[in-house]
């Protein structure tokens, strides 16, 4: 056994000791309770209590569980992570909370798109034009050329102090397909995205760009 298991094997003295215990009707291999031994807390009752607390309040901390159940931080951490297999997960930001009806509409639209793809193949993907909006932050620094002044050679040079540029932002709308970007348009300052503005963008700006950059797409049918 020593040759087979190397250092993981019991020593000859330990083998004799276990043989003596088994011959004396001792069948358990766990340590027997002894005076001063810590009270075990990883028991089914404690595990069930921790599980109930976590499921009732997903934001509860390990210290709060340990204090509530009168156990150590290490024991609470062991039960949560190792026994119950819980892990802290950060919330993911989503645009909005959809109601059941809107979720069903999303499923229907996705199923319809999948059906079209099965019927047309890659040709269906080529007809898709997708768009999105994002805020673009910017500032307009004064260039060295703009700051030049007419002076005589004997005149003192003008001075310009470094200032922190004031950042602004503008709404950028981008439309594109599998071949790349078709339209980039910045919304005029002070305007908001409305149905009328969006309809004007599709009709008077996106349609001409598709016609000039994607010949034949309008006749085959563009899917927005």
Whether the pLDDT of residue 156 is over 60: the answer is yes
Whether the pLDDT of residue 129 is over 70: the answer is yes
Q: Confirm whether pTM is higher than 0.85.
A: no
Report the pLDDT value the prediction gives residue 51, as an integer from 0 to 100.
92
Annotate the chain with three-state secondary structure: CHHHHHHHCCCHHHHHHHHHHHHCCCCCCCCCCCCCCCCCCCCHHHHHHHHHHHHHCCCCCHHHHHHHHCCCHHHHHHHHHHHCCCCCCCCCCCCCCCCHHHHHHHHHHHHHHHHHHHHHCHHHHHCECEEEEEEEEECCCCCCCCCCCCCCCCCCCCCCCCCCCCCEEEEEEEEEECCEEEEEEECCCCCCCCHHHHHHHHHHHHHHHHHHHCCCHHHHCCEC
Mean pLDDT of 137-154: 72
Mean pLDDT of 140-160: 72
Q: Which tens digit of pLDDT belongs to each residue from 31-54?
A: 666 665 555 567 888 899 999 999
Report the pLDDT value the prediction gives residue 39, as an integer from 0 to 100.
53
Q: Which tens digit of pLDDT belongs to each residue from 69-88?
A: 988 888 899 999 889 999 88
For the chain, give the percent of residues with pLDDT over 90: 25
Q: Of 224 and 96, which is predicted with more confidence?
A: 224
pLDDT confidence bin for 6, thresholds 50/70/90: confident
Report the pLDDT value the prediction gives residue 161, as an integer from 0 to 100.
64
């Amino acid at each position: 056994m020593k040759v087979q298991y190397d250092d993981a094997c019991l020593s000859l003295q330990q083998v004799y000791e276990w043989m003596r215990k088994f011959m004396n009707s001792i069948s358990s291999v766990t340590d027997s309770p002894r005076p001063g031994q810590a009270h075990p807390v990883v028991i089914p009752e404690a595990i069930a209590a921790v599980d109930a607390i976590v499921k009732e309040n997903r934001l509860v901390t390990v210290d709060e569980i340990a204090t509530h159940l009168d156990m150590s931080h290490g024991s609470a951490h062991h039960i949560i992570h190792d026994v119950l297999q819980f892990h802290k997960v950060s919330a993911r930001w989503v645009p909005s909370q959809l109601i059941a009806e809107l979720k069903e509409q999303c499923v229907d639209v996705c199923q319809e798109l999948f059906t079209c793809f099965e019927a047309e193949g890659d040709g269906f993907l080529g007809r898709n034009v997708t768009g999105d909006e994002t805020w673009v932050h910017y500032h307009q620094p004064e260039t060295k050329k703009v700051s030049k002044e007419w002076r005589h050679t004997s005149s003192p040079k003008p001075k310009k102090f470094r200032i922190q540029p004031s950042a602004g932002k503008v709404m950028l709308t981008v439309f594109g397909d599998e071949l790349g970007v078709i339209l980039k348009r910045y919304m005029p300052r002070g305007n908001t995205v409305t149905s009328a503005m969006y309809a004007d963008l599709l009709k008077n700006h996106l349609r001409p760009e598709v016609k000039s950059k994607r010949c034949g797409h309008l006749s085959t049918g563009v899917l927005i």
